[in-house]
Amino acid sequence: MPVYGTPVRGGHPQHDEGSAPRPQRYAPRHGAPRPAEPEQDAPQGPFIPGPRHEGLPEDGAQAGRGGLGRTLTGVTAAAVATVLAVVVAGQVADGEKAPTVARAAEQPAERAVDDSSASRSDERATPSSPAPVTTPEPTYEQLITRQFRIDPKLKGSGKFQAVPGLQKAPGKGRLVRYRIDIEEGLGLDQELFTATVFKTLNDRRSWAGRGAMTFERISGGEPDFVITLASPGTTGEWCAKSGLDTTIDNVSCDSASTDRVMINAFRWAQGAETFGPKAMYAYRQMLINHEVGHRLGHGHVSCSTPGALAPVMQQQTKSLDVGGIKCRPNPWVYPGS
């Protein structure tokens, strides 16, 4: 971790406490014996005379003995007083400096920044956050089987946006070019829709299955038709231009008098009861093949054999039971291919 600020010089401030005056050696008056010189390193203390001193007579005159006694007594008292004065003076001096030293210890004027604390902090392992849980994006195979929420009475803006890009025709035969338009504001996955249309039309079981034609998606130029994903309300308006009423069963249509093959966004998102929610992929394939089949010139066909696969041009969104003949759902032109 970075250390903010500039480190100051290390150490504590130096205080000159000074030296207390040392006691002077006692110099006795002329004629009196000097006390023995103390050793250099011996601690200084008060001079205490012994009971007898060399050079003093065993027996002296009363006046001499009394004078000498008084002299020694005075000398001893003076020495003790001097020592006591020195000790007291030293204590006073120490007492005056002690608070200063204490305050200096508590509030150092200069104190070195301990750079090692920063380095220790850097060396400590930083707690790592748990790795974010990432959910993988669903695949095409997963998305195409799901239902999506949409209002069955939704009326969109009526404005269309062409899906950009080019998907080259993969097969042989007659080239059929188409464009995909998406109504603005639907909120449905346009890439999912675009991929499904291309895969479905060029499947070997679809209209291109026997090599008669191949489908190519363009986003500009002159397409043969425009596959349009639109809201139920907008789908109804465009189908009505060709005399078709899709509002009764909320279905899709090929608006033959226009260039648009209308795919009802509600059916694309929710499917139909005839296929059920577990067969959404198959229903979407049927929806594309059925409406493009109309554009290619094919009309409605009903099932003629009970239990057989319904023809792709049967109105399977409405019913699988026509005239008492019930068939199975089928999305393909050539289901056995």
**CATH number for the domain that contains residue 186:** 3.40.390
Cα(190)–Cα(268) distance, rounded to whole angstroms? 11
Structure token pair of residue 284: 């979407």
* Residue whose pair of structure tokens reads 């006691």 in the numeric block: 23
Which residue type, as a one-letter code, is found at position 257?
A: S
Does residue 240 sit within a domain?
yes
Does residue 261 sit within a domain?
yes
Whether 190 and 287 map to the same domain: the answer is: yes
- Whose CA is closest to 151, among 184, 186, 193? 186
Residue pair 244/255 in contact by the 8 Å Cβ criterion: yes
User: What is the span of the domain harbouring residue 72?
Assistant: 20-27+68-98
Cα(141)–Cα(146) distance, rounded to whole angstroms? 9
Whether 80 and 189 map to the same domain: the answer is: no
Out of 98, 120, 137, a domain closes at 98
Longest dimension (CA), the chain: 169
What does the radius of gyration of the chain's CA atoms come to, in whole angstroms?
A: 57
Does residue 306 sit within a domain?
no
> How far are the Cα atoms of 50, 130, 146, 217, 230 from residue 250, in angstroms, in the given order?
135, 49, 20, 27, 12
Residue pair 15/97 in contact by the 8 Å Cβ criterion: yes
Whether 81 and 212 map to the same domain: the answer is: no
Does residue 335 sit within a domain?
no
How many other C-beta atoms can be found within 10 angstroms of the C-beta atom of residue 110? 10
Whether 194 and 94 map to the same domain: the answer is: no
Does residue 267 sit within a domain?
yes
> How far are the Cα atoms of 28, 68, 180, 183 from residue 193, in angstroms, in the given order?
125, 133, 9, 12
DSSP-based three-state secondary structure for 63: helix
Local confidence pLDDT in tens for the 337 residues of the chain? 443 343 433 444 444 444 444 444 444 444 444 444 444 444 444 444 444 444 444 444 444 444 444 444 454 445 544 544 444 444 444 444 444 444 444 444 444 444 444 444 455 556 677 778 888 999 999 999 999 999 999 999 999 999 999 999 999 999 999 999 999 999 999 999 999 999 999 999 999 999 999 999 999 999 999 999 999 999 999 999 999 999 999 999 999 999 999 999 999 999 999 999 999 999 999 999 999 999 999 999 999 999 999 999 999 999 999 999 999 999 999 998 7
How many residues are present in the chain?
337
pTM beyond 0.85, yes or no? no
* DSSP per residue, 14-36: P-----PPPPPPP-PPTTSPPPP
**Overall number of domains in the chain:** 2
Structure token pair of residue 101: 């030293």
